[in-house]
Amino acid sequence: MSNDVTPSRQAEELATAFLSRVWNGTANDLGAIDELMAEDYEIHSAMKTIRGRDAFRQWVSDFQTLLRNARNEILEVFANAAGDRVVSRWMCSGFNNGIFGLPADGRPVKFSGIAIWRVENGRLAECWIERAALEAYRDLVSD
């Protein structure tokens, strides 16, 4: 990341690097979690909190097992002027390998999401995520 850019731009680059490297289809880079996330990283998703990089890495790995070739298309990333909050809007896609507890059938899955991160000391420190999972589930069970 560049040192000659604003804190806002640095936060945007951090979020973009996370989405591009960790959620990149068949070339997911789970090692990027150590580089981009604080050691005590927390994510709040579906009324559940995952604490710590190791637990988060396992959560991502489990999710990527259930949604084969999971990838995020970045739709928008923006940050506040201080660079301590960054928001991303994205579209996640992949193939059903047991997501939502459904039988693995390889059908395409696609849903939108929004993540709000807290940035601290140049790393992603905390995240609140909302996904259109109900809509994706309904698409899978209605076919």
Cα(38)–Cα(36) distance, rounded to whole angstroms? 7
Provide the token pair at 2.
């560049």
- Per-residue pLDDT of 11-32, as tens digits, reads 999 999 999 999 887 778 999 9
Cβ–Cβ contacts within 10 Å for residue 90, how many? Answer: 22
Provide the whole-model pTM.
Answer: 0.89
Q: What span, in angstroms and rounded, lies between the C-alpha atoms of 51 and 143?
A: 36
Average pLDDT of span 24-45 = 91
The three-class DSSP label of residue 126 is: strand
- Would you give the distance in Å from CA 2 to the centre of its chain? 22
Q: Which domains does the chain have, with CATH numbers?
A: 7-142 (3.10.450.50)
Query: What pLDDT is stored for residue 27 in this prediction?
Result: 76
Q: What is the pLDDT of residue 47?
A: 87
pLDDT at 1: 52
